[in-house]
Amino acid sequence: MNSSVNPANPPLVGIIMGSQSDWATLEHTANMLNALNVPFEAEVVSAHRTPDRLFEYAETARARGIQVIIAGAGGAAHLPGMCAAKTDLPVLGVPVQSSILNGVDSLLSIVQMPAGIAVGTLAIGKAGATNAAILAAQILGLNNPIIAEAVQQFRLSQTEKVSSNNIPGQS
Residues in contact with ligand RP5 by CB under 6 A are: 18-19, 21-22, 46, 48, 73-75, 96
**109 annotated among ligand-binding-site residues:** no
Find the shortest distance in angstroms from Cβ 51 to ligand RP5: 12
The whole-angstrom separation of Cα 21 and Cα 13 is: 20
Find the shortest distance in angstroms from Cβ 85 to ligand RP5: 17
Find the shortest distance in angstroms from Cβ 80 to ligand RP5: 10
Find the shortest distance in angstroms from Cβ 29 to ligand RP5: 14
Half-sphere exposure of 44 (CA within 13 A, CB side): 13
Find the shortest distance in angstroms from Cβ 49 to ligand RP5: 7
The whole-angstrom separation of Cα 43 and Cα 101 is: 25
> Which residue, 36 or 79, is less far from ligand RP5 as judged by CB?
79
**19 annotated among ligand-binding-site residues:** yes
**105 annotated among ligand-binding-site residues:** no
User: Which pairing describes strands 40-44 and 13-17: parallel, antiparallel, or unpaired?
Assistant: parallel
> Which residue, 24 or 35, is less far from ligand RP5 as judged by CB?
24
> Which residue, 18 or 125, is less far from ligand RP5 as judged by CB?
18
> Which residue, 3 or 19, is less far from ligand RP5 as judged by CB?
19
Residues 80/108, Cβ–Cβ less than 8 Å:
no
Strands of the sheet containing 13-17, edge to edge, are 40-44, 13-17, 68-73, 91-95, 120-121
The kind and range of the H/E element at 148 are helix 145-163
> Which residue, 18 or 141, is less far from ligand RP5 as judged by CB?
18
- Who contacts 58 (Cβ-Cβ below 8 Å, separation ≥6)? 69, 82, 83, 85, 86, 87
Q: Which residue numbers belong to the known binding site for substrate?
A: 19, 22, 49
Q: Which residue numbers belong to the known binding site?
A: 19, 22, 49
